[in-house]
Structure formats: C-alpha cells, structure tokens
Amino acid sequence: MRSFFGAAVSIAISTLVATGVTCAAEDAPLGVQLVDQMNALYGVHPGVRANHAKGAVFEGTFTPAPGAETLSSAVFLKGAPTPLTIRFSNSGGVPDAPDTHLSVGGVRGMAIKFRLPDGSEADIVCISANGFPVATGEDFLALLKAVGNSGPSAPKPTPVETFLGAHPAALAFVTTPRPVAVSYGTQPYFGVNAFKFSNAQGASKFGRYRIVPVNEAAYVSDEDAAKRSPNALADNLRASVEKAPVKFRLLVHVAADGDSTTDATKVWPDSRPTVELGEIAVTKALDTKKVENELLFMPTNLTGGIEASDDPLINTRTEAYAESFGRRTK
C-alpha cells in the first residue's frame, strides 16, 4: 500500500532542486501558481499535463438507466446512448513514471467527455480517492509549497509535517493506503466536488459522482504490483476491452440536509442514497499519443440539468486545467 505523502516528499527531494523551476509570483492567478508549483515538484515535461501526466485514452458509450431523468434533465440521460471519450490516468506530473512509482501515490483518474447530439460536450472528472486533502485552492497551493520546502536539509518539523499537523483531512488523505488495481477498469472513482442536479420539474438535489465497476473492484498485492510491467493498468484494460466492453455504473451520491456541498474534504456517509444514472461501456482503445493534446476535461464543462455547486475548488480546478492545457499545446 502506498501513500501520497511519501510520494510527494520523494518527488520534491529528487526534482525540485534539479529542475530549477521558479514558482509563479504570488500575485499571479491561483491556477497559474498551482501549475507552476506542480512543475517545480515534478519537473517540466513539454506537451504533457502538469498533473495526471500519464494517461490512456479510450472510446466508449453511455446508456442511461430507467428513471435517471427524475434526478436531472441532462440530455445524456434521455434516449439513445451517448458516445464518450474516456481518459484514465495516474496522479503526478511524471509522464513516464511506472504505475507503482512514488510520484503516483496510488491515486488514479477517470475523466469522461460526453459527445452530445448538438455537437457540444459535457465532462465528468473523478479520482480514485473518496474526498480531497484540502477544501480550497489556496490550501492546496500551500500543501504543494510545503512539500517543495521539505527537502533533506529542512529542519524538523518540516513544512509539510507542520501543514499536515494543522490540516487533519490532508493528513488522513495522504496517509491512507491505496492498493494497486488489476487495471484502470477494476477501480472505483469518486467525484471531488458536489454538483446541483435539477430535473424537468425544477426539483434539485446536490450530489457527487461515483463510478463503480460493474464487476467487483479488483486489486493486486504490493508484492505482485512490484513485479508488473510499468504500464500494467492501461495494458490490462486494453487487453480486456479487446475481448468485451469493460463496464461501469455511473451513480450520484445524494447529499442529505447538513452535508457540506462546498468542502471537498467532507466525505458523506455511505448510508446516503445513490441514484443510478446509467452504464459506461469502455469499448475501444485509442492511440493516446495522437489524441492526447486535443483533449481538455473541465469540471465546469456542464450541460443543462447539472450546475456547479459553490465549492470553491471547482473553479480553481478549471483555472489550473486551462493553464496546463495552454502550456502543453503551445
């Protein structure tokens, strides 16, 4: 089992000094500062994302579940299946890092782009961890800076130890053991932020996405993971897709009165109800190198019937993703 804490500190020690990247000025937009700090931690790798740099792209379809429209009037919850572009990824900014490398920290990503009938798009961006280490972009930047300042010569307690001591949710997040999945297709994924879902009658509920394998989640031991090829998560999914579609259930975990919809560190109890929106089928592996640069997944790229909540991380994520996209496509 691996934790993000060990990963982040290891990468900070090994790359921060070596890259010589200068962090953004404090008066720069927050998204710019976040991307610069990630570049400082992971190194600058032209043409790739600042975070979740290593990924694999697939095609798929979404088929709505009966009754899904009672939660939201989103167009992809009606009628015929909707084509999808799906990107699975490892966290961290090192594009050629093995799946089990410390820079990954055991956190995976699944980003989905719905190709809507009118030619527009809608996105869902999830990670394999339930919850997030901090509630604001400012605190995330502070965490990244603390990691960067916690090299081998840093006095004890190091800046990252001090930060984690003052932020219990971050400490819990980065020290949570995360097993290695058999493939990207055997891993559950969770929405970081809450969104507002409204149906055609105007009734609204807040919820967070959950993406669950139709078959049970499947993992390997640390010992077996260490023996695998560096790209086993994607390679194993490609091998499965060649035989049959790999399927997930798309759910919304619905908030109850009193559940925070503006703080991503607040994980709601599993006892809260879930609404099944439909089935995601991963049907074809794409040539990732050919399609990667044109893909941008944004938490705020929404369609009617789904709105962003007031969670401040949503706009911060959008700013950072847009900044990273602009740099890698120059």
Instruction: Give the burial class of 164: count Cβ atoms within 10 A of its Cβ; 0-12 exposed, 13-18 middle, 19 or more buried.
Output: buried
Coil/strand/helix, residue 113: strand
Q: What pLDDT is stored for residue 103 in this prediction?
A: 64
Q: What pLDDT is stored for residue 217 in this prediction?
A: 97
Q: What pLDDT is stored for residue 26 in this prediction?
A: 76
Task: Enumerate the H helices of 20-113 as residue ranges.
Answer: 30-42
Q: How many CA atoms lie within 13 A of 33 on its CB side?
A: 16
- β-strands 189-191, 246-254 pairing: unpaired
Report percent pLDDT > 70 for the chain: 92
Measured from the Cβ of residue 307, the count of other Cβ atoms closer than 10 Å reads 15
Q: Give residue-wise pLDDT tens across range 224-266.
A: 998 999 999 999 999 999 999 999 999 999 999 999 999 999 9
Residue 59: pLDDT band (50, 70, 90) is: very high
> What is the enclosing helix (H) or strand (E) of 293?
none
- Residue 196: beta bridge partners? 206, 307
Q: Give residue-wise pLDDT tens across range 13-53.
A: 333 333 334 455 678 999 999 999 999 999 999 999 999 99
3-class SS shares of the chain: helix, strand, coil, % to 5: 35, 25, 40
Q: What pLDDT is stored for residue 105 in this prediction?
A: 73
Q: Does residue 67 come out as left (phi exceeding 0), alpha (psi in the -120 to 50 range) or beta?
A: left
Q: What pLDDT is stored for residue 20 in this prediction?
A: 35
Q: What pLDDT is stored for residue 23 in this prediction?
A: 53
Q: What pLDDT is stored for residue 15 in this prediction?
A: 35
* Catalytically annotated residues: 52
Q: What's the rounded mean pLDDT across residues 308-320?
A: 98
- Flag the least confident range among 13-22, 77-86, 175-184, 278-287: 13-22
In order of their start, the domains of the chain are 4-328 (2.40.180.10)
Per residue, what are the HEC states of 224-287? Answer: HHHHCCCCHHHHHHHHHHHHCCEEEEEEEEECCCCCCCCCCCCCCCCCCCEEEEEEEEEEEECC
pLDDT at 146 over 90: yes
pLDDT at 4 over 80: no
Q: Give residue-wise pLDDT tens across range 169-209.
A: 999 999 999 999 999 999 999 999 999 999 999 999 999 99
